[in-house]
């Protein structure tokens, strides 16, 4: 019985499988699924293991990243850095049920906190949900079914769920059975012909702190119940048809990224007084109510469609980063100097921009981005500023 991995019988491996598996891991330099770098020493040595004994000996001598591959070459286990006898992280690739069952034994399952499942079938996921009930982090990638096994409700300790390259359009309500979930990321796979639909029961995830949906895909339905997510601190939703007014009830939000297909955002968001980071890309109009957000430190108005900023924005004295790249701004008034805490100002590719205050270049420790502003370069004739802008052009290239 192997001593450095609890629950993994040595008869599960042949010499050829060990040689092929670890050679492949060293050559590629990462685990399938999470692309985490393996031991640099192993990569440097270009180790080739020809026997099981040789492989396990290396594992014992390299406790930080000891790796063994499963019999069919479709799964990795990584042992915990702090205890050479405990495995806390597993990556599984493919849909071979034998591989999954090999990994699903009690000695391993009770300690595993993180799983990366790539290209796994619904049956494999069902087995994972049944056995690894102590999971805290789960990433599912390239999952072809549009539904999840009901056994996901077994994951009562799961805090983080990411589903990447998913074929689903309507996010199944089964996700809402994971009551202790704190972070949810959904990134779909192309084509993006259909819109994402959030489940009506999203409000039952009462511990949810972060919700991020695919930025490349539209959302046709956001349930009114989203306003009941009282613990939500970070929300990213894109290309919405209708944004419910109940969003104003998310009083604990500190970071929000939100866009609509028509470029309009409800004024209710300006009641979220705890916001520190707000991104409103592709916006048609910025309301004067922005002045209510006194705690803002980061404001992203990339691709704004308006030609000037409301003067109220210059009363937000705590702003440290202001993003206006790709906007239709024609001029930036001297009022911008009132933002005494400003550390970064991004005006890249503002094609209509003709002028900015000369004084900006005298502010110490401010990071200015001016790439692609050809009209600005032609209009501001000061030699020093021209050199600055040209240098930025060269850097951008």
Which whole-number Å values give the CA distances from 38 to 27, 66, 103, 247, 388, in the listed order? 10, 8, 20, 43, 42
**Residue 266 is assigned to a structural domain of this protein:** no
Preceding peptide of 129 cis, ω within 30°: no
Q: Is residue 346 part of a domain?
A: yes
Q: Which residue has the higher pLDDT, 91 or 179?
A: 179
Looking at the DSSP bridge assignments, the partners of residue 321 are 298, 344
Q: What is the DSSP string of 115-156?
A: EEEES--HHHHHHHHHH-TT-SEEEEES---SS--GGGGG-T
Helix (H, G, I), strand (E, B) or coil at 335: helix
* 382 falls within a domain: yes
In the chain the beta strands, taken as DSSP E runs, fall at 67-69, 75-79, 87-93, 114-118, 137-141, 160-166, 183-188, 196-197, 210-213, 219-221, 234-240, 255-260, 277-279, 298-300, 321-323, 344-346, 367-369
> The tokens 């393996």 sit on which residue?
38
Percentage with pLDDT > 70 across the chain: 68
227-272, pLDDT tens digit by residue? 999 999 999 988 887 888 899 999 999 999 998 878 788 889 999 9
Is 305 part of any domain? yes
Residue 170 resides in a domain: no
- Say if residues 363 and 338 touch (Cβ distance below 8 Å): no
Residue 141 lies in a domain: no
Per residue in 63-82, pLDDT (tens digit) is 443 333 333 333 444 444 44
* Count: domains in the chain: 1
Q: What is the CATH number of the domain that holds 305?
A: 3.80.10.10
Residue 27 CA to residue 44 CA, distance in Å, equals 10
CA of residue 80 relative to chain centroid, distance: 24
- Phi/psi of residue 331, nearest 5 degrees: -145, 150
Q: Do the Cβ atoms of 262 and 242 come closer than 8 Å?
A: no
Evaluate whether residue 36 is within a structural domain: no
Residues spanned by the domain of 325: 285-397
pLDDT in tens, 345-393: 999 999 999 999 989 988 888 999 888 887 887 777 654 566 555 544 4
Tokens of 76: 């990795």
pLDDT in tens, 11-58: 333 334 333 343 333 333 333 332 233 333 333 333 334 344 454 455
Return mean pLDDT, the chain: 75
List the alpha helices (DSSP H) in the chain.
15-28, 40-45, 52-61, 97-103, 106-109, 122-131, 374-379, 383-396
Q: Which two three-digit tokens encode residue 48?
A: 């080739």
Computed on alpha carbons and rounded to an integer, the radius of gyration of the chain in Å comes to 26
SS3 at position 40:
helix
Q: Residue 228 is encoded by which pair of tokens?
A: 């009941």
Residues 6+ apart with CB under 8 A from 172: 146, 147, 148, 199
pLDDT band with cut points at 50, 70 and 90 for residue 182: very high
Q: Which residue has the higher pLDDT, 315 or 85?
A: 315
Closest by CA position to 172, among listed 194, 152, 142, 192: 152
3-class DSSP assignment, residue 225: helix
For the record, the structure tokens of 84 come out as 């050479």
In-domain check, residue 221:
no
Q: What's this model's pTM, rounded to 2 decimal places?
A: 0.76
């Amino acid at each position: 019985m192997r001593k450095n991995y609890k629950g993994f019988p040595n008869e599960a491996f042949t010499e050829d499988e060990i040689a092929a598996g670890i050679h492949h891991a060293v050559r590629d330099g990462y685990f399938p699924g999470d692309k985490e770098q393996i031991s640099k020493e192993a990569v440097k040595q270009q180790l080739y293991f020809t026997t099981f004994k040789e492989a396990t000996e290396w594992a014992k001598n390299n406790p930080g990243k000891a790796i063994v591959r499963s019999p069919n070459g479709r799964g990795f286990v990584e042992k915990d850095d702090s205890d050479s006898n405990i495995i806390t992280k597993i990556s599984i690739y493919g849909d071979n049920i034998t591989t999954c069952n090999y990994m699903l034994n009690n000695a391993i399952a009770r300690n595993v906190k993180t799983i990366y499942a790539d290209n796994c079938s619904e049956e494999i996921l069902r087995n994972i949900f049944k056995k690894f009930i102590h999971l805290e982090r789960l990433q599912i990638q390239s999952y072809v079914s549009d539904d999840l096994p009901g056994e996901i409700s077994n994951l009562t300790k799961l805090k983080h769920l990411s589903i990447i390259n998913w074929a689903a359009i309507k996010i199944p309500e089964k996700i809402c059975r994971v009551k202790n979930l704190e972070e949810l990321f959904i990134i779909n796979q192309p084509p993006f012909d259909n819109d994402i639909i959030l489940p009506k029961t999203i409000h039952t995830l009462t511990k949810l702190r972060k919700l991020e949906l695919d930025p490349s895909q539209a959302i046709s339905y956001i349930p009114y119940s989203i306003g009941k997510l009282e613990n939500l601190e970070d929300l990213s939703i894109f290309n919405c048809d209708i944004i419910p007014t109940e969003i104003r009830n998310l009083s604990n939000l500190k970071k929000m990224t939100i866009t609509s297909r028509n470029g309009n955002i409800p004024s209710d968001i300006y009641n979220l007084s705890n916001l520190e980071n707000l991104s409103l890309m592709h916006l048609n109009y910025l309301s004067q109510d922005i002045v209510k957000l006194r705690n803002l430190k980061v404001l992203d108005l990339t691709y704004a469609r308006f030609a000037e900023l409301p003067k109220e924005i210059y009363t937000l004295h705590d702003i440290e980063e202001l993003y206006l790249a790709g906007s239709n701004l024609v001029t930036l008034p001297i009022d911008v100097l009132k933002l005494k805490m400003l550390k970064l100002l991004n005006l890249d590719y503002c094609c209509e921009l003709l002028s900015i205050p000369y004084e900006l270049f005298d502010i110490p420790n401010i990071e200015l981005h001016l790439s692609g502003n050809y009209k600005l370069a032609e209009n501001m004739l000061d030699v020093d500023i021209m050199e600055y802008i040209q240098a930025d052009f060269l850097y951008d290239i």
